[in-house]
Structure 1
Amino acid sequence: MVTSETLSADTTAAQDLGEPKMRATDVSVFYGDKKAIDNVSIDIRTEHVTAFIGPSGCGKSTFLRTLNRMNDTISSARVEGVIELDGEDIYQSGMDVVQLRARVGMVFQKPNPFPKSIYENIAYGPRIHGLAEGKSEMDAIVERSLKRAGLWDEVKDRLDDSGTALSGGQQQRLCIARAIAVDPEVILMDEPCSALDPIATAKIEELIDELRGRYAIVIVTHSMQQAARVSQRTAFFHLGNLVEYGHTSDIFTNPREKRTQDYITGRYG
């Protein structure tokens, strides 16, 4: 379990970095009477890619979904505690959830491009949020987003083709470009490579590294190797608890908690 000493050490190390982009404090999540997340506190920073690891059903995806209120779509879900974005409680009654999800974008496990052209997949969000005044501005947003997602050179001559006609890896990068297009501050990725082949996975991982520092990025992954490759901070979840959170290198080479050690060495999970 994350102890006060652990949190104190992480807090001291983080003092030079300023305030986190997002901060969760004593967050619990319930589905009806079942508690899925128990009293989790964690900081999310723009400087780092943060990985959530743990066995299936441990709560890591459930917690990820609290960060942009995706659990609001589940009638039985209830969230307790405080989650702040730039110091503002995202669960306060006056929060505009549509605007929140523009600021905190989500990339899902299975690529889910809209049944529209590649261009319209990117343009949809900026158009809804009024981010472009004319076609030239929209063209620039589409090009910039596809370039940031490492997809522009592959699709620039077929922007009118359907997004669903792309390969799986290209579709996932299209979904990342779609999230980027509305100028988010945080990007949440829920096992973004689990449906992809190793070559496509490598491209997504390279993209995550390129985007680090521009956006606060949180990735849920079942692959400990992937967490070690792409993240600078890792949080280990087990049975709805945040067991340990710290520098990725420390989590994998010198974990403080026996449950973390047992998981990363394959004793369970």
Structure 2
Amino acid sequence: MVSNQPTLDTMVPTVEFAEPNSDLTPKMSARNVYVYYGEKKALDDVSIDIQTKYVTAFIGPSGCGKSTFLRSLNRMNDTIAAARVTGDIHLDGEDIHAMDVVQLRARVGMVFQKPNPFPKSIFENIAYGPRIHGLADGKADLDNIVEKSLRRAGLWDEVKDRLQDSGTALSGGQQQRLCIARAIAVDPEVILMDEPCSALDPIATARIEELIDDLRGRYAIVIVTHSMQQAARVSQRTAFFHLGKMVEYGVTSDIFTNPREERTKDYITGRYG
């Protein structure tokens, strides 16, 4: 089961935005990020470091900017004509806006709120990315990638005898794990999850949370969630967003038990949101 408490090595002082004194080099860093939809400012001056070592949760009420910021990390906002992003976002020190967007999204994968398997077989859902990115050298190599990805997503034993069945025939929880396996298959460095359990039942949600815990440390994982209980269970770092601003960022246990900002406390205790 996933622990509700961070381990001792994560118990470092809470910081408000980034972690400038950390001895870990951030996998991704954002500084002074603003997002506009036309004239409307949706995100206001967000700065944060994302580490591979931790799962980072973004919490806050609906419309607060957490999903908008998540989408900025792999330039999904580029698909919205009216969207404009300013500020600096780096992946391993490289400006993501100077990178080829296809390569960026291979390195920074995305799992969406609603499971979206391709209308293809289970095998082809996983094989598609490695094939188009040239990551497999022949069928045997591709078979190995598919099996490894499904095993990491905790799905192999359930589907190994039906790899040619349609991915859309799986249950909702299985479809979401298939989408996670699909993201893993291209060997990403970061996995972004936008409310990945919101459409799932409690049993499927528990499986996804266990999977997130299993994947921690292999990838930098960022999860947007409306569930504070889920954030407490799966993350070691939490950022609280409100009205387009990141109000507070720090160790998850500190955010939930001893927040520094009154707005964070009000949200945690249910006074609004």
Q: Structure 2-normalised TM-score?
A: 0.94
Pairwise CA RMSD: 1.1
Which residue number in structure 1 is paired with residue 242 of structure 2?
Answer: 238
1:61 partnered with 2:67: yes
1:143 partnered with 2:147: yes
Question: 1: distance between equivalents of 2:202 and 2:18?
Answer: 36
Residue type matched to 1:260 in 2? T
Which residue number in structure 1 is paired with residue 97 of structure 2?
Answer: 91
- What is the Cα deviation at residue 149 of structure 1? 0.2
Aligned-partner SS, 1:91 = helix
- What is the Cα deviation at residue 171 of structure 1? 0.1
Contact 2:109–2:190 (Cα < 8 Å) also in 1: yes
Question: 2: distance between equivalents of 1:51 and 1:123?
Answer: 29
Which residue number in structure 1 is paired with residue 105 of structure 2?
Answer: 101
Which residue number in structure 2 is paired with residue 20 of structure 1?
Answer: 26
Moved over 2 A (4+): 5-12
Question: 2: distance between equivalents of 1:43 and 1:9?
Answer: 5
Aligned length: 260
Which residue number in structure 2 is paired with residue 38 of structure 1?
Answer: 44
Encode CA deviations 1:122-154: one digit per residue, 9 max, x unaligned. Answer: 000000001111100000000000000000000
Aligned-partner SS, 1:218 = strand
**Closer, same or farther in 2 for the Cα pair 1:259/1:7, shift >3 Å?**
closer
Aligned partner (choices 245, 249, 254) of residue 250 of structure 1:
254
- What is the Cα deviation at residue 102 of structure 1? 0.2
- What is the Cα deviation at residue 8 of structure 1? 8.2
% same residue: 83
Aligned partner (choices 188, 212, 217) of residue 221 of structure 2:
217
Question: 2: distance between equivalents of 1:173 and 1:8?
Answer: 31
**Structure 1 stretches lacking a partner, 5+ long:** none
Q: Structure 1-normalised TM-score?
A: 0.95
Question: 2: distance between equivalents of 1:171 and 1:241?
Answer: 33
Encode CA deviations 1:151-208: one digit per residue, 9 max, x unaligned. Answer: 0000000000000000000000000000000000000000000000000000000000
Aligned partner (choices 257, 260, 267) of residue 263 of structure 1:
267
Contact 2:17–2:249 (Cα < 8 Å) also in 1: no
Question: 1: distance between equivalents of 2:264 and 2:228?
Answer: 12
**Closer, same or farther in 2 for the Cα pair 1:103/1:198, shift >3 Å?**
same
Which residue number in structure 2 is paired with residue 176 of structure 1?
Answer: 180
Residue type matched to 2:37 in 1? Y
Which residue number in structure 1 is paired with residue 6 of structure 2?
Answer: none
Aligned-partner SS, 2:41 = strand
- What is the Cα deviation at residue 10 of structure 1? 3.8
Residue type matched to 2:79 in 1? T
- What is the Cα deviation at residue 121 of structure 1? 0.2
Aligned-partner SS, 1:116 = coil
- What is the Cα deviation at residue 9 of structure 1? 8.7
Encode CA deviations 1:47-100: one digit per residue, 9 max, x unaligned. Answer: 0000000000000000000000000000000000000000000012xx210000
**Closer, same or farther in 2 for the Cα pair 1:9/1:150, shift >3 Å?**
closer
Encode CA deviations 1:209-262: one digit per residue, 9 max, x unaligned. Answer: 000000000000000000000000000000000000000000000000000000
**Structure 2 stretches lacking a partner, 5+ long:** 1-13
- What is the Cα deviation at residue 7 of structure 1? 4.3
